[in-house]
Structure 1
């Protein structure tokens, strides 16, 4: 039975990272300039009625934009409360604090990306160096105090001149590395262990402390799903700090407050995934149950918490706008979920591009 369930859902990649901001238009403008997140999939103003578990029982209003980089990778869901003023963490978020510490961004040329991001006003946290598995990298902060890790990666969906691609993955702080791996490896499909080490690390912003790190990735033979080719294979790095007290990044705050609010995976077979996750001790805490409108797009979404209460979102996309100006939509519910959409159809999304 377990094997059957395991085969009856699929993870297609990281669809987007939710980023809580004070001003959605100001933030999106910077992300377009810095990370070429310039193709909107939807822009929507609504009330988050299903998320009251994480908003103190009150249905809060928000304005959100889901934007993609057509070079390939996951997108950003840039998310602003409109019914309240979002609150910051109130402390400096450090590697190993519990939750999403950093978002990994894929680049083809590290030196070119370094100069470009400096010119955009990014605060450089580390000099270019190598990850434990020998890949070029550096860390930075955006103007809104969010940390990004820039990582060289050869996967791409389309050729363009952008200095960066889209989201490669996330760095998630955990309290117990060994206890945290199972969810991401066995349930969520990040089944390739690139490294697992305990040491001090020159590539991290805190170079003097000891960390336990595990880099998990999706298999590289190609993502399934309608938009799998666009999303590209993704990574999740789990990180546990030794010798310092850790803080919960969203402790005392609401989902939607400032910072990285969730990591969203694109899936098919949501109901079977829900059963599998519950059997493994990670029941869904939010479930839209059926199709839910997100402006011009729609889908079935759900959330679960990892061991340290980091929120992982799942979206099974039902409808997506390809050419919004001409009301052209794709209905994905009845197609073969293992096959990618034809590349030319996905590339039509770029006709919605918003200039930096």
Structure 2
């Protein structure tokens, strides 16, 4: 792993920040003198539901296209990136947390990195405070998968960060991490941080055990507000979520896409963090096809903030069409 510099804040693994990015103290040192605003919060609505996109981090993955597979497609990836004025040396890491409020329910979809003593990440708590939501007001947390930028924000100082929230995830995700030997044999990621990552996930799951209420593919929760969709490949129990209110709908894509060009121009292009790349491709094609055909409004955890848009079919490929900002009064 290369050494972080002041320009790029190098990262190598979304899944294991402490292990793979290096110790938090070193990461904080990199950009300690550059403190961005502590919360970017975008309000919008899904029918009768109040919604916000809260940015939790501002990072760059310094490996750039070296994170992308297959290797033989790198010339095409490079051409695409250059056509759109995008850097191939680094890839942006947006971390957009979806928050809903409807009646007495306050719902999170993943919770970001959590507090790490680094000004470049862990902004969710400040974002929630800025819209008047206290941790004990959160009633439900949905976890797409257990990589650190999704799971760790559910933990604070060794305790559940949202003490009154039910914690929902697919049982396949629990089983994978809690099994005797979690299988990373198909993943292209650096294998060295994996033991530490597994230990961290297991500790966090133990902390959240009393709050955990597993859900199944197709389950509808909160009076039909949220539908759970199994979307395996990135991890064994990776999930997407569909939010419906009246005639309005939003499909949360979670980690089906890590880049606003690369995962759409060719759904067969994968990122090193996928546990099972071939399954991830099959899943992505299914979701892209359905969302494009139905013109479903979508939300992307790793797409440019605030992460709202549509997937558009463009001949044999797709493209991400970001939704214009509309600031609410």
Fold shared, TM-score > 0.5 on shorter chain:
no
TM-score by length of 1: 0.29
TM-score by length of 2: 0.30
Higher RCO (CA-CA < 8 Å; seq separation 6+): 1
